[in-house]
A = this chain, B = another copy of it.
Amino acid sequence: MPELFTVSTPHAALQKLFDHLSRPIAIETIPTAAALDRVLIESPIATSALPAFARSTMDGYAVRAADTFGASEALPAYLTVMGECPMGQAPTVEVRAGQAAVIHTGGMLPDGADAVVQIERTQKTTETEIEVMRAVAPGENVLQVGEDVKPGDQLFSTGHVLRPQDLGGLMAMGITHVTVARQPRVGTLATGDEVIDPQFEPQPGQVRDVNTYSISGIVTRAGGVAQSGGIIRDNFDALYQAAKDLIDQSDALVLSAGSSVSVRDMTSDVIERLGKPGVLVHGVSIKPGKPTILAVCDGKPVFGLPGNPVSALVVGDLFITPTLWRLQGCARPPHQNTMKARLTHNLASVPGRVDYIQVKLIDRDGEVWAEPVFGKSNLIYTLVKSDGMMIIPIDANGVAAGEMVEVKLF
């Protein structure tokens, strides 16, 4: 029997999909405080300096540096304390030659002062006089105006995923709202006459829906919002209608179809009718997940997954996750969480195919080992028992026990 479809390499398949994504990035403006892990689309320009005034980085005395030159423990400089710089206000005191003012960390430098002497380097001689036992250079222990940000600075690059400190950085500039990519809505449909809603008790021959929930988790982690269109019978009209309704309200569509040849063909036909150019890739040189369909319908990505649970994770990693970041205009998706480990078993592989192997990480004498969790790709609990997947590259014959491998952590 001939191959039913010609297979693409994962890289070529993703590229083909990307080449046909034509919709502009949907954007929205939201409070910065709620923008963690969102993709920044309009990168603000600094309109003011940060800090806006020279600030002390120490508790001590604001001084003129020149007054401390040559000071040492043996030969201290004597300065008259003129007052204190209050926090949160411009100091009213001015520091002239031979004078100093008490200043706290973060306090604004008074006029005339150009440096701060740490309190630990001084000693009080009277209520209004100190000994300075160490010279400071001009600018020492001072944050200069604009040392953090200068007016006109581009604060972020476009497509940046906002992290905790980025929210702080935006707020420091008074940017309380940001324009970010809208979270892509990803419609998911499970198909199969045997698939039922998990809340029901399966009758003989029936199985509960698994992929709707796994895929929803994958979508969430890639910044999207999953919306389930439910479970559809293996019937062309029913599947087409459900897919059409769902894609109209979504930015992307995932069909988790059965793995049988007839169902695969039906899924492909349904996708062809959803929009142009339709199916781009039907079959990828990966294991598991070979019968994957990648399509673009009127500018929206559509994924046809073989129904087994392991494929969903593999196709998610290879195609769904990068596509969702791309839909958000993300220049550089968050680095995937990986770990090096030593492989416990020899693993054979067929060149020309990328193999995903589920592994458990175990500790042996203080070293991390990756132990393959063998099991058919129809078994969801092989995934539950795994900590991650290792990849055998397309050109490899296999990996020998004891070799270091990279594990993508779940």
Contacts and interface: CB of A to CB of B under 8 A. Distances in A.
A53 interface: yes
A376 B164 contact: no
B165 A383 contact: yes
Interface in A64-107: 86-91, 104-107
Contact of A87 (B163, B194, B313, B410): B194
B163 A217 contact: yes
Interface in A351-410: 375-376, 378-384, 409-410
Given A53-B204, A172-B198, A148 B380 contact: yes
A339 B336 CA distance: 10
Contact of A168 (B59, B210, B259, B338): B210
A129 interface: no
A26 interface: no
A295 interface: no
A90 B147 contact: no
A166 B380 CA distance: 8
Contacts of A221: 36, 164
Contacts of A383: 165, 168-169
Contacts of A335: 337, 339, 409
B201 A174 contact: yes
A235 to B, nearest CB: 12
Contacts of A143: 376, 378-379
B260 A104 contact: yes
A262 B104 contact: yes
Contacts of A148: 375, 378-382
B105 A210 contact: no
A339 B409 CA distance: 13
Contacts of A382: 148
Nearest to A335: B409
Contacts of A217: 36, 163-165, 167-168
A50 interface: yes
B168 A309 contact: yes
A216 B409 CA distance: 25
A125 B336 CA distance: 52
A379 B168 CA distance: 11
Instruction: Report, nearest first, the 5 A-B pairs whose CB atoms are least far apart.
Output: A164-B217, A168-B214, A88-B194, A90-B204, A165-B383
Interface of A: 1, 32-33, 36, 50-53, 55, 57, 59, 86-91, 104-108, 119-120, 143, 147-149, 155-156, 163-176, 192-195, 198-218, 220-221, 234, 258-263, 307, 309, 312-313, 316, 334-340, 375-376, 378-384, 409-410
Given A59-B260, A168-B380, A171-B210, 7 more contacts: A57-B378, A148-B379, A148-B382, A155-B384, A163-B217, A164-B218, A169-B381
